[in-house]
Amino acid sequence: MAPQPLSELTTIRVGGVPAEIYEAKTRDDLIEHTLGVWRSGDDWLVLGGGSNMVVADDVSELRVIKVANLGIEPVRSREDGRVVIRVQAGENWDAFVAHTIAQGLAGVEAMSGIPGTVGAAPVQNIGAYGQELSDCLVRLEFLDYETHELVILEAKDLQFGYRDSAIKRGRPGVITWVEFELQDLGGLSRPLYSTQIAADLGAQMGEQVPLMEVRNSVLKLRANKGMVLSDSDPDSVSCGSFFTNPMVSDTFARSLPESAPRYENEDDDGLTVKLSAAWLIENAGIAKGFRIAGSKAAISSKHTLGIVNTGGATAAEIIQLAQFVQTQVSNKYGINLVPEPNLIGSFD
């Protein structure tokens, strides 16, 4: 029986039929089959929730390894109220967040509703509403493509950046499990760092509020942007945010209109400024709901950072629209927007 098309396994619903789809049901199975694929020299892809990728229309030589949901292991507690949880790579990210909240553990509550699996999260250093995965990741187990060896990578080894990591920058391999350090704060969240959550809850920045209130607020805010997967919301047939917010120098940021949102960030390279990709897109003349004539790919009707499949779009149409957005923003502001999802296959 031929494998099913990857359009049926990705949240943006594009992608051709691969040579193979193999579901790894145990950690050892995942390692063994992955090594076999690597030794064959074939093109390969590890597939979790299929949420942060655009797969080409022709992937007939690709071998796909789908990671099963293998669960969450018991916590290891410390006397200072911190606990460590080991989570298998195939665990659904939002299910993991819901589990931590049910256990009264703080640290990932503001990342509710992000689609995908736990194993994919460190590659992108996912984050939202003032929290990032790098804030609480302790270590992970990694099957290294170059050496074919299992290694333990500590947080410092991953060289996390904004939606970035050493793995994303060119260290291919497979994550088998991830450990997180969370906090028992008596059912309260970490101090709020999001003005949007604070405003929604009528709270102050830095205040601690019940974990479930944060989760409910985040899910509402994300749903309003079409960023929560839902069969009833056509704007959720996407990869989520398609572009990362650009990081620029303070000098460059000052050259933009005063109305351009900007967020200062102090790092090893000095003062940098994070801009709003959504603002840049809108002010480059691309409105919500925009689409290229004849295309079934469109800008979300709720949020200009989303590119959606309105029904039957090809991967080529998704990429065509993304490139159009990049060109418009570059022509007006001299900024090259960087796609957030992984682009799998050839898009010539």
CATH of the domain at 83: 3.30.465.10
Claim to verify: residue 135 and residue 220 sit in the same structural domain:
yes
Q: What does the block give as tokens for 32?
A: 């063994």
128 and 252 co-located in one domain: no
Residues 208, 108, single domain; the answer is yes
111-128, pLDDT tens digit by residue?
999 999 999 999 999 999
What is the model's pLDDT at position 346? Answer: 85
Buried b (16+ CB within 10 A) or exposed e, 102-132: eebbbbbbbbbbbbbbbbbbbbbbbbbbbbb
Domain identity same for 80 and 62: no
From 19, 43, 67, give the residue that closes a domain: 67
The answer to the question of residue 104 being in a domain is yes
* Domain ranges, residue 82: 76-224
**What amino acid positions are annotated as catalytic residues?**
163, 241, 340
Whether 1 is covered by a domain: the verdict is no
CB of 40 within 8 A of CB of 19?
A: no
CATH number, residue 63: 3.30.43.10
User: DSSP for 40-85?
Assistant: HT-EEEEESSS-SEEE-S--TTEEEEEEP---BPPPEE-TTSEEEE
Work out the mean pLDDT of the chain and round it to a whole number: 94
pTM of the shown model: 0.89
Residue 229 lies in a domain: no
**Over 80: is that where the pLDDT of 43 sits?**
yes
Do 164 and 61 lie in one domain? The reply is no
Q: With residue 260 as reference, give the H or E element that holds it.
A: none
DSSP 193: -
Domain count, the chain: 3
**Is the same domain home to 106 and 220?**
yes
